[in-house]
Amino acid sequence: MLYSVCVRGTATAEAPIPIRLGPHRLWRSIIAFDKRSAKSFIRINERIRAREIRVIDENGAQLGILPPYEALRIARERGFDLVEVSPNAVPPVCRIQDYGRYLYEKEKSERAARKKQKVITIKEVKFSVTVDEHDYQTKKNQVIRFLGDGDKVKASLRFRGRQMAHRELGYDIINRLIQDMGDAGLVEFMPRMEGTILHAILAPPKKEGTPKPKAAPLPPIAPVKAPAVSAR
């Protein structure tokens, strides 16, 4: 099934030019237009359809509940627009202000909020049961660097073949890493097994805000022991 959309062309003023569009292309264009309009649509001036609105003037003073035409008349007399700032309120809240400046301030505040957002990612550092001291120190420094950047770290260790019979060796390595972190990181998930992989999650330390009274020091984190392996 095809749909015809008439668009006026340059041939004649009376004869529209039919353009045949498939149904999928037509619906995709309509949906895309609706999403854009719903995101950016703000009712102003004559577009405000509520019977009564709560009005705030350009200085932030409450003008009370008025019909839209009365509020628009006041806005026009003062050389401003009437902008609906809270459409879901009962009644809707409208403000007398310059619409262009309102859009500029709104976009500026949204950009500032996006800059303050910190996206926390999880970095994975892989160990092995046979890791030597040099490799361990290198991976430990890597974990400390990731935590210093504000990222979480997943320390994982995979057991291969007969290493599953000696899981305590893997637990010793992950527990040693947790003890070596000290104040550089917090343990979010203690070591645990998932299949043949042992892993723990470390999080960056919380930033200090207002000084609080010092509490009693916490006891050191007890290492997690490997579960006993049943003999077959």
pLDDT digits 0-9 by tens, 82-125 = 999 998 998 999 999 999 888 888 888 888 888 877 777 889 99
Q: Do domains 45-116 and 122-203 have the same CATH topology?
A: no
pLDDT digits 0-9 by tens, 2-36 = 444 444 444 444 444 444 545 444 444 444 444 44
- For the chain, which residues make up each domain, given as ranges? 3-40, 45-116, 122-203
pLDDT at 187 over 50: yes
Please check whether residue 153 is in contact with residue 146, taking contact to mean a CB–CB distance below 8 angstroms. Answer: yes
Structure confidence at residue 24 (pLDDT): 47
CA distance 63 to 135: 70
Q: Supply the mean pLDDT for the chain.
A: 79
- The closest of 129, 144, 206 to 178, measured between CA atoms, is 144
Fold of 45-116: Ubiquitin-like (UB roll) (3.10.20)
Please check whether residue 81 is in contact with residue 45, taking contact to mean a CB–CB distance below 8 angstroms. Answer: yes
Q: Give the percent of the chain with pLDDT over 90.
A: 44
232 vs 114 pLDDT, higher one: 114
Other Cβ atoms less than 10 A from the Cβ of 93: the count is: 16
Taking the mean position of all CA atoms in its chain, how far away is CA 88? 24
CATH code at 122-203: 3.30.110.10
